[in-house]
A and B are shown apart, each in its own frame.
Chain A
Amino acid sequence: DIQMTQSPSTLSASVGDRVTITCRASQSISSWLAWYQQKPGKAPKLLIYKASSLESGVPSRFSGSGSGTEFTLTISSLQPDDFATYYCQQYNSLWTFGQGTKVEIK
């Protein structure tokens, strides 16, 4: 099974900050990686697929990069609506989610 490890688990930041979340795969997954945002009590929402492709309707302040085993999600300027939990997911071999990164207000 492919394991996905996100860091950090929690991130404290202020509006306007540049935020970076890292996701590492236990083996190469090429670019078969997605990022999701989940707010309390809501279903997750797709932000990025194929490591760096922005889902339609997602603000351009979100970007993804990486390939192989190391990936990042970057929010260029954190907005109030962005405080949420973020998950990476590999879909190279079935599916595996990372454990999540909670972005909270500093």
Chain B
Amino acid sequence: EVQLVQSGAEVKKPGESLKISCKGSGYSFTSYWIGWVRQMPGKGLEWMGIIYPGDSDTRYSPSFQGQVTISADKSISTAYLQWSSLKASDTAMYYCARLSVITMVQGVPRGPIDYWGQGTLVTVSS
């Protein structure tokens, strides 16, 4: 059974750093792209970026480029999302998600999300 299990809820202060995780199991972790999706309170879904754990190829949404860092440790089948300096506006639920790649187009994966993590709630407040 494919599972993506995320780390627990976090409460942080503005300016603090944070790294949340997403552990994959039940499939070949290095063969599927993993993405991160933000959902601010009461709002919709926003794609942040994706990583291919096999070679750590990473792509960011222009809206999140430079704001977060996505990484992966294939030895422990875990992907990460990190911030160096949190802001109150980073308060949100963050989901990791597995991309079901249908095809590659000029090196960019194309496919829907077939599995989601349970979400990690990040609260940033002074």
| A and B pair up | yes
| CB nearest to A35 among chain B residues | B112
Please tell me the number of chain B residues within 8 Å of chain A, measured between CB atoms.
Answer: 22
Query: A99 CB to closest chain B CB, in angstroms?
Result: 5
Interface size class of A (residues with CB under 8 A): 20 to 34
| Chain B contacts for A50, CB-based, 8 A | 102, 112
Q: Mark A67-104, 1 if CB is under 8 A from B, else 0.
A: 00000000000000000000101011111111110000
Tell yes or no: B24 within 8 A of A by CB: no
State whether A95 and B44 are in contact (beta carbons under 8 Å apart), knowing that A43-B118, A46-B114 are contacts in the complex: no
Q: Mark B87-110, 1 if CB is under 8 A from A, else 0.
A: 000000001000010100000101
Q: Mark B34-50, 1 if CB is under 8 A from A, else 0.
A: 01000000001111001
Q: Would you call A49 and B46 a contact (CB within 8 A)? A: no
State whether A91 and B112 are in contact (beta carbons under 8 Å apart), knowing that A96-B47, A98-B44 are contacts in the complex: yes
| CB nearest to B101 among chain A residues | A91
Q: How far is the CA of A45 from the CA of B108 in the complex (A)?
A: 23
Residue pairs across A and B with CB atoms within 8 Å: the count is 54
Tell yes or no: B53 within 8 A of A by CB: no
State which of A1, A34, A93, A96 has its C-beta within 8 Å of the C-beta of B112. Answer: A34
| Chain B contacts for A99, CB-based, 8 A | 44
Q: Would you call B108 and A43 a contact (CB within 8 A)? A: no
Query: A71 CB to closest chain B CB, in angstroms?
Result: 13
State whether A95 and B114 are in contact (beta carbons under 8 Å apart), knowing that A43-B119, A44-B45 are contacts in the complex: no
A-B pairs with lowest CB-CB distance, top 5: A34-B112, A43-B116, A95-B47, A49-B112, A97-B45
Residues of chain A whose beta carbon lies under 8 Å from any beta carbon of chain B: 1, 32, 34, 36, 38, 43-46, 49-50, 55, 87, 89, 91-100
